[in-house]
Amino acid sequence: MPSSRDTCYACDEPATTKEHAPPKGFFPPGKRQGLITVPSCSIHNCDNAPDVEYVRNAVVCHAGLNETGELLIDTAKRSFDHSPALFSRTFQSFVVRSAGEQVATYKADLNRVRAMMTAVAQALHYRDQRQKWSRWQVFVPTFRSEWSINQASDGWDGFRGLLNRIPYVDRDTAELEVFRYGSYALDWGWVYRLMFYGGFVVSAWMLREDTEDPYDTAIEARRTEPGPNQ
């Protein structure tokens, strides 16, 4: 248990438990040694949050993962069997498209993905820098937009390339087949690159308290543009 002097990684409340970063549910049995933990209050402990199960299932159902990620597909299937409502919410937009070849797609709930990945970035930053920071932006380069089904690019390839050129410094993690990450300090704050199961990448960066994020501006502009079928 955390020391009584500890406070939560995300707020100033007393720490009554420990938060795993990433949550323990991302690690299959037998690969849970030496996991990263930080002191946490009960509110900011995500181990039992519904978002964790949803996001883990969305990640392991993605193509291009290593064998460890594929092992968790059975775990995802069991969670869907246990909760048909979760299956319905996850795949309610599932559709098979023909764009040169048949491709099955569904829309991920980005709000849930960002909420959980923000908590992971907060925890890792506290672990490495002992700094609490509440404002983060999350971008998932692995996800493609609906536009990319009908076009060669979804418009974010340049941004993905920019994030890839950052010289991240690898940080210590125990189960590299499940999770690894790197970080780098820029003039305006820290940026993190998280990789799950050797193929699912998430980028997270700090936002200054007094500035807007250009990524949010670009997202809002994209929402107002006509889609491919409009």
Alpha-carbon distance of 69 to 148, in angstroms, equals 24
Domain ranges of the chain: 17-224
Exposure on the CB side of residue 176, measured as CA atoms within 13 A: 4
* Global confidence as pTM: 0.81
Per-residue CA distances from 116 to 77, 154, 219 (Å)? 21, 24, 20
Alpha-carbon distance of 165 to 112, in angstroms, equals 27
- Residues of the chain whose pLDDT is less than 50? 4, 147-148, 217-230
Please report, as a single letter, which amino acid is at residue 2.
P
- pLDDT, one tens digit per residue, over 123-147 is 999 999 999 999 999 999 887 655 4
Tokens found for residue 76: 């995802």
**What pLDDT, on the 0 to 100 scale, is given for residue 201?**
95
**What pLDDT, on the 0 to 100 scale, is given for residue 154?**
65
**What pLDDT, on the 0 to 100 scale, is given for residue 60?**
87
